[in-house]
Amino acid sequence: MNPFFSVIVPVYNVEAYLQECMESVLTSHRVPANYEIILINDGSTDHSGDLCDVYASQYPEIVHTVHQPNEGLSSARNTGIRYASGEYIVLLDSDDKLAPGALDHLAVCVGSDFPDLIVNHVDQFADRTNHYTLFNGNYPEGDRVLDCREEYMKLLKNKKFVTSAWTFTVKRELLQKKKISFYEGIYHEDELWTHKICLAAETLKYNDEPFYLYRINRAGSIMSATDLKHLSDKMFILRNILTDAEKLDFAKKELAEAKAAELYWSIVFGAKDFMNTEHKGELISFLSRYMNLLKKSKFSEAKVVNALFSLIGIKNTECALKKWKQ
């Protein structure tokens, strides 16, 4: 019999964290195991790959290890999903962990409704501490099946949409049917993937029981890096969303434009750091081309920036934003 949950864990040079991550999954249930763990060793150069093999040998019925050359997080996740056989996909980064009883809580949330998508409660903690603070959660809807697209718009309007892929548990069948995978070779791939699953899903439930524990401020974490590629990849994703939106019906197109407006807003604040570089012209051209998205933004601050763009120009506005942020 196939497992109910497939827990996908991409692994790259995390030997200091992998045991803690794995133990959190292996102790996340009280009922007989109804899950599998798929470890994707993405070309690690430390002992992470060896640890993956150790767990696979200790728990052969549950843990499966796949070794591949280093191809990045998106590729590792895609590989894991291809190998998965569970009804639902759970994504877990190897330096994070699941809360005690997480998979039991998730099974209760799924219940007999079998929603396409579940938005999970997430707490965050600093490296080497046991102090947890809310990252995403406190959902008011309770144990009800909701319309996914209506909830997606609400989350965007209320600035509560968290783009991290591990926030969501999704039906594997939905990913297969809609041919949704992670775009490889870019940063912020979660922005595009979560948008696509929210457009594709019909039904959604919120899981407000403790579920995901997100480690912050880890040394060497990719999330700590900021450079022009991060910004240009966001610009690429925005264009991709708007191109695909032209093929959608009115309701889905409205959602895509709202998501693009949210992304544009983050690009506005990212561009300020590059206005005195050789990339100034490219950035001004991009911001000018998609400036109309500010009018579609659900953020009240966007109206102010839109007015400043018109009054003093994009470059001067970006310079003002940089001074304001300082």
- DSSP-derived secondary structure for 181-207: -PPTT-S-HHHHHHHHHHHH-SEEEEE
In 30-56, which positions are buried (b, 16+ CB within 10 angstroms) versus exposed (e)? eeebbbbbbbbbbbbeeebbebbebbb
* pLDDT recorded at residue 326: 52
- Cα separation, 128 vs 144, whole angstroms: 36
- Cα separation, 118 vs 120, whole angstroms: 6
Confidence of residue 248 (pLDDT cuts 50, 70, 90): very high
- Cα separation, 170 vs 88, whole angstroms: 6
Q: How far is CA 191 from the centre of its chain?
A: 6
For residue 77, what is the DSSP state?
A: H
* pLDDT recorded at residue 133: 82
pLDDT, tens digit, for every residue of 297-319?
Answer: 766 777 788 888 888 888 888 88
**Which has the minimum average pLDDT: 59-63, 127-131, 261-265?**
127-131
List residues bridging with 206 in a β-sheet.
Answer: 119
- Cα separation, 325 vs 271, whole angstroms: 13
Q: Is the pLDDT of residue 154 over 80?
A: yes
Q: Is the pLDDT of residue 6 over 70?
A: yes
CB-CB neighbours of 119 under 10 Å:
30
Q: How far is CA 65 from the centre of its chain?
A: 23
Q: Which amino acid appears at position 225 of this protein? A: A
Residues 6+ apart with CB under 8 A from 29: 35, 101, 103, 104
- Cα separation, 86 vs 173, whole angstroms: 9
- The answer to whether 22 and 37 have CB atoms below 8 angstroms apart is yes
Mean pLDDT taken over the chain? 90
What would the 3-class secondary structure string for 14-49 be?
CCCCHHHHHHHHHCCCCCCCCEEEEEEEECCCCCHH
Tokens 């925005």 belong to 238
Strands 117-126 and 203-216: parallel
- Cα separation, 186 vs 84, whole angstroms: 23
- Cα separation, 138 vs 152, whole angstroms: 16
- The answer to whether 188 and 263 have CB atoms below 8 angstroms apart is no
Position with higher pLDDT, 159 vs 314? 314
List residues bridging with 124 in a β-sheet.
Answer: 133, 214
